[in-house]
Amino acid sequence: MDQALSYASGPTDSPLLTETIGANFARTVAAGPDRAALVDRAAGTAYTYRELAEAVDAFALGLLARGIRPGDRVGIWSPNRTEWVLTQFATARIGAVLVTVNPAYRTHELEYVLRQSGIRLLVSAPVFKTSDYRAMVGEVRDACPALEQVVFLDGPDWDGVVAAGRALDPARLAEVAATLHPDDPINIQYTSGTTGFPKGATLTHRNILNNGWFVAELQGWTHEDRVCLPVPFYHCFGMVMGNLGAVAHGSCMVVPAPAFEAAATLKAVEAERCTVLYGVPTMFIGMLADPGFASYDLSTLRTGVMAGAPCPVEVMKRVISDMGMTDVTICYGMTETSPVSTQTRVDDSLEQRVSTVGAVHPHVEIKVVAPDTGEVLPRGEAGELCTRGYSVMKGYWDEPEKTAEAVDPDGWMHTGDLAVMDADGYVGIVGRIKDMVIRGGENIYPREIEEFLYTHPDIVDAQVVGVPDAKYGEELMAWVKVRPGAEAPTAESVRAFCTGRLAHYKIPRYVHAVEDFPMTVTGKIRKVEMRERSIELLGL
């Protein structure tokens, strides 16, 4: 294909892993049984790889004793903790499909996921924060005929499964492992659909093991790395890019807290001498703004990933300069692609790391196409980003029509994201196709205006949405978070700040100061909700 077109394929010199997650885990344990594997700060526990393998095997055998077989769905509904990791690797050992349930779900969403995926056994925390999981499970249980067993953590349920496993012949695990294949589905993740019910992206051993491996490879991980993971495990960022990346490299997983807390994360980095730190941009913003930030020793940090949402330039610069993460990388992807399709490299320029989401991943193809015709566009032109390769999901669980809408007959996953590929093959995400604002015939990408508003001395975060307008079709509204102690900017003051520096049609007409943006638990801004609330606020 002509180099001037927006198409690129990743390097293939390092081969794909052709084993199951269980086989890969066993290989890592054999290579360094006494190496540090997992530290759970809230529980006060630490495991070597030998100890982790023993705990994983006991729970895997316990699941077999409870009648779970390859292909059966096992759900996990819990914040980040040791048992989450044990369940992840135990289900992989016996070929059960792990269904990761968002800890923020309420009964309506829980019931949908339990029914839609046909979960036979659910591992659940009893409570977390204001969520009484035990009561919610009780409420929906009768409506979920496939759900036969619930194993609550912190009590006799979990202990009973482990005890049953210890009574079983360990040879059973090898017998089951011999029947498993890398292309078997092993994980269902419900994408946080901003409209309608979430869809269950079905991922294989091959999908997620390789993606975790290459994300970590591109950061240069070895068995000496200690990886701080404040990102949620129920999502690819935590369980694939974090846990699978770490185990494939024999690195140590550090769980700073059940859910993200800035101080707990900074404390974990210092106490555990972490070399790697993961987070969505809002997490890094939170850590940099922590009152005690300057007092933490973060000198061991080297690399990590910022992903999950567009990364503000100023935040990236501070992560490199103030947190010492000189080799920090940016990743772009989606659950349906296991998740990562592009990543910056550790030796990329600051400009590439702050203005792009990197170049194509190994063994993956990407292209930018015209959304209406599907034609590959010249480099430099904005269109829909599509990706193809080992990382594309098997499909949405039990939803062939929805799968066909997302993955075309040639195997290309259509991301719904607007992207531009530059002359060097680096990709910039300019927004969601559905977030693009058309004002008086001009296409406006909110991302560009958000980046500009970060340069305002009193604004620490900004999100821009389109609202209906009788004259122009749409107008821009900026939601802004203000730095502590500063006065909330008015629409007039923001317009004055923008005038002469942004084209007139890109200057927000409305400004709304907020404490927080509506978000999905994966750290994605819910622009659909922002738009609805903006229309109400403005009385449109």
pLDDT tens digit string along 35-64?
Answer: 999 999 999 999 999 999 999 999 999 999
Look-up: residue for tokens 């909110």? 446
The pLDDT of residue 415 is above 80: yes
How far, in Å, CA of 357 to CA of 330, rounded? Answer: 6
Please work out, in degrees rounded to the nearest 5, the angle formed at the alpha carbon of residue 251 by the alpha carbons of 40 and 329: 100
For the record, the structure tokens of 434 come out as 């559905």
Domain boundaries, the chain: 7-421, 436-538
The token duo for 534 is 């903006």
In three-state secondary structure terms, 452 is helix
Among residues 526, 496, 524, the alpha carbon closest in space to that of 511 is found at 496
Instruction: Name the 3-class secondary structure at 186.
Output: strand
Q: Tokens 């914040």: give the residue.
A: 79
Q: What average pLDDT is seen over the chain?
A: 94
pLDDT at 350: 86
Report, at the CATH architecture level, how domain 436-538 is classified.
2-Layer Sandwich (3.30)
* Domain spanning 7-421: CATH 1.10.8.10: no
Coil, strand or helix: which one is 273? Answer: coil
Residue 413 has pLDDT above 90, yes or no: yes
Contact in structure between 281 and 311 (CB atoms under 8 Å): yes
Task: Give the predicted TM-score (pTM) of the model.
Answer: 0.87
> Which range, of 265-279, 409-423, 445-459, averages the lowest pLDDT?
445-459
**Strands 36-40 and 252-255, how do they pair?**
parallel
Give Cα 531 to chain centroid, integer Å: 24
Give the per-residue pLDDT at 522.
65
Please state the rounded mean pLDDT for residues 81-108: 95
Interatomic CA distance for residues 405 and 233, integer angstroms: 28
Buried b (16+ CB within 10 A) or exposed e, 296-314: bebebbbbbbbbbbbbbbe
Of 110-119, 158-167, 463-472, the one with minimum mean pLDDT is 463-472
Where is average pLDDT lowest: 186-200, 326-340, 456-470?
Answer: 186-200
Q: What is the mean pLDDT of residues 287-311?
A: 93
User: What pLDDT, on the 0 to 100 scale, is given for residue 2?
Assistant: 54
